[in-house]
């Protein structure tokens, strides 16, 4: 195993720096913005800006790489991400932070795609699953590590903006000094949402609602914690524990979804998420323990829904279309991620801190209702027709290259997937 990891250790190190910086960047802005008196609507728009930039990065990076190559493109993405977080320190106003957050999303998506394609090139059929599992674990640990770093100093100074910029810059070092050949051109996906809706309405509608819910929580969880008076260390845990719970929950969720109707598993997760939503709304906890318990339940549900949806869509997709199926769902998720933080921000502005969970409960109730209707309209697929459940990083950290990296049915053929020539 060690012999398989050592050749890609520099790439994994660069990715860990990138994700660590992303964890800092994603949490310092809402925490500092809340301290500066930004409205919940303004802070919600930060999440909308990130989602717009992230989708743009997923769509445009392949063409950039085809023009100037992998190393230059990756260096540009990391450098601009560092500029964005430093400029956020210079111009502490929502009018600057929203476009800068969009730039961060664009750069983060582009850098992740390039690094993932590099790892994918170094993997083969014998070790791809293990390397993808290690990458998923690094995504989790590095992101949480970046978030928890905020407990080590004051968020009212320049410290964490500078630390985030430093790690963005460090992320480009391993690839810049790498002697390995550049990988093949990045995959581009021609989207056909209409066909995906025809194949699996539950997957398309479900991933839209999951995008609304997950992005709203991911953007405004720190604002919620600040509003109810939680200490910074608790806010960092409140944002990090759901990520860990979601990763751990994929183990039993994957087991169940391979053995029963995935729609029922998805509905069950949504119902549990509704219980957590109601706990936040009705109990209105203001202490550390209950908030962390509810956030763990909430995260275990919402962050394990996405791979169930991808697996369900793949069950109904034509053969050899896993990449375009995953890519299409990612962009539908992005549409939900654009709307979710904005809706939740308005809800928190109008209804207080619990407005966040008023938004997420609406998304989860709609998901349950639509799923139950589809179960009545369409039978489940047989166990023989099911694809194997695959563990995945958080949807907001996934790209089309993640689908290529994680799939086992390579090479991919079909009219919807093509690589731009280098």
With residue 16 as reference, give the H or E element that holds it.
Answer: helix 9-35
Q: Is the per-residue pLDDT at 416 higher than 50?
A: no
Supply the pLDDT for residue 389. Answer: 61
Q: Is the per-residue pLDDT at 326 higher than 80?
A: no
With residue 419 as reference, give the H or E element that holds it.
Answer: strand 417-419
Question: What is the Cα–Cα distance from 403 to 251, expressed in whole angstroms?
Answer: 19
For residue 80, count other CB atoms closer than 10 A to its CB.
Answer: 17
Q: Is the per-residue pLDDT at 10 higher than 90?
A: no
* 1 falls within a domain: no
* 417 falls within a domain: no
* Residue 27 token pair: 């949490």
Place of tokens 């998420």: 273
Supply the pLDDT for residue 306. Answer: 87
Model confidence at 5, pLDDT cuts 50, 70, 90, reads: low
Supply the pLDDT for residue 63. Answer: 85
Model confidence at 180, pLDDT cuts 50, 70, 90, reads: low
Maximum Cα interatomic distance, the chain, rounded to a whole number of Å: 57
* 416 falls within a domain: no
* Residue 296 token pair: 């763990």
pLDDT by residue (tens digit) across 199-258? 889 989 999 999 999 999 999 999 999 999 999 999 999 999 998 898 888 888 888 888
Alpha-carbon torsion (254, 409, 415, 73), positive or negative: positive
* Residue 61 token pair: 């990076």
Q: Is the per-residue pLDDT at 277 higher than 50?
A: yes
Distances from the Cα of 265 to the Cαs of 201, 271, 272, in angstroms?
16, 10, 11
Supply the pLDDT for residue 412. Answer: 43
Question: DSSP alpha helices (H): ranges in 158-231?
Answer: 159-176, 193-199, 201-227
Question: What is the Cα–Cα distance from 337 to 301, expressed in whole angstroms?
Answer: 17
Supply the pLDDT for residue 247. Answer: 84
Distances from the Cα of 49 to the Cαs of 101, 135, 202, in angstroms?
6, 26, 27
DSSP string, 214-272: HHHHHHHHHHHHHHTT--HHHHHHHHHHHHHHHHHHHHHHHHHHTTS-HHHHHHHHHHH
Nearest to 148 by CA among 5, 60, 321, 31: 31
In DSSP terms, 189 is beta-bridged to 417
pLDDT by residue (tens digit) across 79-134? 999 999 999 999 999 999 999 999 999 998 888 888 887 777 777 666 666 777 77
* 308 falls within a domain: yes
Model confidence at 340, pLDDT cuts 50, 70, 90, reads: very high
DSSP string, 278-322: HIIIII---SHHHHHHHHHHHHHHHTTHHHHHHHHHHHHSPTT-H
Those residues whose C-beta lies under 8 Å from the C-beta of residue 174, and which sit 6 or more positions away, are 10, 11, 13, 14
Those residues whose C-beta lies under 8 Å from the C-beta of residue 252, and which sit 6 or more positions away, are none
pLDDT by residue (tens digit) across 344-361? 999 999 989 999 999 999
pLDDT by residue (tens digit) across 373-391? 988 877 666 555 656 666 6
Whether the Cβ atoms of residue 219 and residue 344 lie closer than 8 Å to each other:
yes
* 212 falls within a domain: yes
pLDDT by residue (tens digit) across 133-142? 778 888 888 8
pLDDT by residue (tens digit) across 38-71? 999 999 999 999 999 988 988 888 888 888 888 8
* Residue 364 token pair: 């989860």
* Residue 337 token pair: 């991620």
Domain extent, residue 194, equals 9-407
Rg (CA), the chain: 20
- Report the chain's mean pLDDT, rounded to a whole number: 84
Distances from the Cα of 59 to the Cαs of 190, 331, 422, in angstroms?
10, 9, 16
Distances from the Cα of 259 to the Cαs of 233, 303, 384, in angstroms?
40, 20, 10
* 310 falls within a domain: yes
Whether the Cβ atoms of residue 143 and residue 23 lie closer than 8 Å to each other:
yes
* 367 falls within a domain: yes
Residues 396/323/80/65 CA torsion (nearest 10 deg) = 180
CATH number at residue 330: 1.20.1250.20
Burial label for 250, CB within 10 Å (0-12, 13-18, 19+), is buried
Question: What is the Cα–Cα distance from 51 to 342, expressed in whole angstroms?
Answer: 11
Query: What is the number of structural domains in the chain?
Result: 1
* 255 falls within a domain: yes
Question: What is the Cα–Cα distance from 24 to 145, expressed in whole angstroms?
Answer: 8
């Amino acid at each position: 195993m060690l012999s398989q990891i050592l050749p890609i250790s520099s790439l994994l190190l660069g990715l860990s720096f990138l994700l660590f910086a992303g964890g800092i960047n994603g949490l310092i802005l809402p925490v500092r913005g809340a301290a500066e008196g930004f409205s919940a609507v303004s802070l919600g728009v930060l999440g909308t800006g990130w989602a717009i930039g992230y989708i743009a990065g997923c769509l445009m990076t392949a063409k950039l790489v085809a023009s100037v190559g992998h190393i230059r493109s990756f260096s540009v993405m990391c450098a601009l991400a560092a500029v964005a977080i430093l400029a956020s320190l210079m111009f502490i106003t929502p009018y600057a932070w929203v476009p800068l957050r969009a730039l961060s999303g664009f750069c983060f998506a582009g850098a992740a795609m390039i690094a993932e394609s590099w790892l994918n090139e170094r993997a083969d059929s014998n070790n791809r699953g293990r390397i993808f599992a290690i990458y998923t674990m690094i995504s989790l640990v590095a992101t949480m590590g970046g978030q928890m770093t905020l407990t080590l100093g004051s968020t009212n100074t320049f410290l964490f903006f500078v630390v985030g910029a430093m790690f963005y810059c460090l992320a480009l070092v391993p690839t810049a000094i790498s002697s390995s050949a550049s990988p093949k051109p990045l995959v581009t996906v021609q989207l056909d949402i209409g066909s995906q809706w025809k194949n699996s309405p539950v997957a398309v509608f479900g991933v839209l609602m999951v995008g609304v819910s997950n992005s709203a929580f991911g953007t405004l969880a720190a604002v919620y914690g600040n509003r109810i008076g939680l200490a910074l260390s608790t806010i960092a845990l409140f944002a990090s524990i759901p990520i860990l719970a979601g990763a751990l929950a994929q183990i039993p969720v994957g087991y169940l979804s391979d053995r029963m109707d995935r729609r029922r598993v998805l509905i069950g997760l949504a119902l549990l998420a509704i219980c957590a939503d109601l706990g936040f709304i009705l109990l209105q906890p203001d202490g550390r323990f209950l908030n962390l318990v509810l956030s763990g339940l909430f995260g275990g549900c919402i962050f394990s829904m996405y791979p169930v949806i991808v697996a369900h869509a793949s069950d109904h997709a034509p053969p050899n279309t896993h990449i375009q199926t995953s890519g299409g769902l990612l962009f539908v998720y992005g549409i939900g991620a654009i709307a979710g933080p904005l809706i939740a921000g308005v809800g928190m502005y109008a209804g207080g801190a619990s407005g966040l969970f008023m938004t997420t409960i609406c998304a989860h109730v709609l998901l349950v209702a639509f799923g139950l209707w589809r179960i009545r309209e369409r039978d489940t697929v047989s166990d023989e027709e099911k694809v194997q459940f695959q563990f995945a990083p958080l949807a907001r950290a996934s790209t089309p290259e993640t689908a290529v990296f994680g799939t086992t049915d390579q090479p991919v053929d079909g009219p919807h997937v093509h690589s731009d020539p280098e």
